[in-house]
Amino acid sequence: MQASLVWLYGKLTHHALHYEFTYGSLNLIETSSKLSLLGSLLSVAGPLYTLWLQWRGKVDLATSSLLILLIVMLTGKVFSPQYLIWVAPIVAYVGEAHIKWLLPWTTISLLTTLIYPFLYDLQDLQDAPFNRAFFPSTILRNLLFLGFVIAILVYSARKNVVVPLANDRSDTKAAPVAIRRLFIQASDS
């Protein structure tokens, strides 16, 4: 995602972009550390927010694990196509094979397949960024990926959690699950 932002920033501000081929991969060199700092902050804040949602009982363990993996993939400096394959079973499990989950994930996966291996194999790897379709398709994929993660986070944050008290049949909104359980244990003693 960060490389997409750097490329977009470079195109909008007409700054020269620098590419390096190191360690068997093509890297877009960032001249400003602001995007790197933003990525680092989001890579910490995203999982912490997810854990907070889990503590409040708004997401279960599987959804929390999926969100943390997706956030790390999204904010990391390296993105490999096989990451999508590794996470696909968790997406199918958490999304319960619902079309609202499968359609965006399939689109993200198909765009990734277009990018790698097809756009990479059209020419020498070092020339891939100069292919007119390379960065636009990468940005589209990354924006869909970002939207997918944000949609899960927003849906999870808005979800109401109701934990009934012992012998209480009211449908009032419950306090966070952990606090509610402590309250129940204290009243039973």
pTM of structure: 0.75
Three-state secondary-structure class, residue 172: coil
Contact by Cβ (8 Å): 18, 29: yes
pLDDT at 171 over 50: no
Give the per-residue pLDDT at 25: 72
With a pLDDT cut of 70, the percent of the chain lying above it is 78
Question: Where in the chain are the domains?
Answer: 40-158, 160-189
pLDDT at 174 over 50: no
Burial label for 154, CB within 10 Å (0-12, 13-18, 19+), is: exposed
Give the per-residue pLDDT at 15: 74
pLDDT at 35 over 60: yes
Largest CA distance in the chain: 72
More confident residue, 44 or 76: 44
Query: Tens digits of per-residue pLDDT, 52-67?
Result: 999 999 999 999 999 9
Alpha helix positions (H), the chain = 2-13, 34-55, 61-75, 82-94, 99-113, 120-121, 134-158, 177-188
pLDDT at 186 over 50: yes
Give the per-residue pLDDT at 173: 46
Distance CA 9, CA 159 (A): 35
Mean pLDDT of 1-5: 74
Tokens standing for residue 145: 């990926």
Query: Tens digits of per-residue pLDDT, 104-150?
Result: 999 999 999 988 877 766 666 667 777 788 888 889 999 999 999 99
Q: How confident is residue 48, by pLDDT bands cut at 50, 70 and 90? A: very high
Give me the chain's average pLDDT, please: 81
